[in-house]
Amino acid sequence: MNFIVTTIRKPTEAVETLAKEISLKLGGQFVKREDLSFDALKTIHGVENILLVKKNSLSVVTSEGELFFHPNTAHLRIKNLRGGEGDRLIDALKISAGSKVLDCTLGLGSDAIVESFVAGKVVALEVNPLIAEVVSHGLKNFSDESPHILQAMRRVEVINVDCGEFLKICADNSFDVVYFDPMFRNPIKTSSGLNPIRPLADNRPLTKEIVREACRVAKNRVVMKEHSGSSEFERLGFEILDGGNYSSVAFGVIDKA
């Protein structure tokens, strides 16, 4: 990865210590911030991304903006679930309390939080170490939310690994469901909130081999989210679920039952 680790301009000793620990963990270079701008730091050190350590959070400064953790839509979705309304992802996954969920594409973590609220425990995979570090830290430390949302965040286990490699070492039927939310083949450019993550995201399409492994690992079903009308559903053998006719996204399932 092409990145450095630094801090806010006037860090406390604890912040600087954390930054050094993270740089060692991720194999990046720690750089004292001094009074330099992000652009100056990128130029001096020849990097594209900066992992920024703040007092209570982490973020990544990319070419498209600053990537930071926030529960985003998870707050509203959980509020709706508590009020008796449905959620398209939860309906697609068909999970309930006690279900074992493997989320193969953590991203910013909103889906994993909602899954955890319903199921109670989620293992979430993220191949990019910077995204994994920022979101994992946020899930463990974010505090400006209701107790039931914080509890759901804390139950998400983040693993920095390629999902294809992880699936290979999983036992048959070891999770109730396996979920994929890969970067869309035709991105929704109006989703400006996703712009900072795009330079870091894994843009590789899912392969048939990975889907076969997911079907072996999933006891009940495999679910994929994609752009409505995407040819990926047919290519990979997913059946598109009805519903969400006015949405730009759709869910496909492979139901082992």
Residue-wise pLDDT for 141-184, tens only, equals 998 778 999 999 999 999 999 999 999 999 999 999 999 999 86
Within 10 angstroms of residue 106's Cβ, the number of other Cβ atoms is 27
What does the pLDDT average to over 3-21?
Answer: 96
The pLDDT, as a whole number, for residue 78 is: 96
Q: How confident is the model at residue 44 (pLDDT cuts 50, 70, 90)?
A: very high
Per-residue confidence at 198, pLDDT binned at 50, 70, 90? confident
Cα(140)–Cα(135) distance, rounded to whole angstroms? 9
3-state secondary structure of 59: strand
Per-residue confidence (pLDDT) for residue 207, from 0 to 100: 96
Token pair for residue 56?
């209570």
Between 193 and 79, name the one with better pLDDT. 79
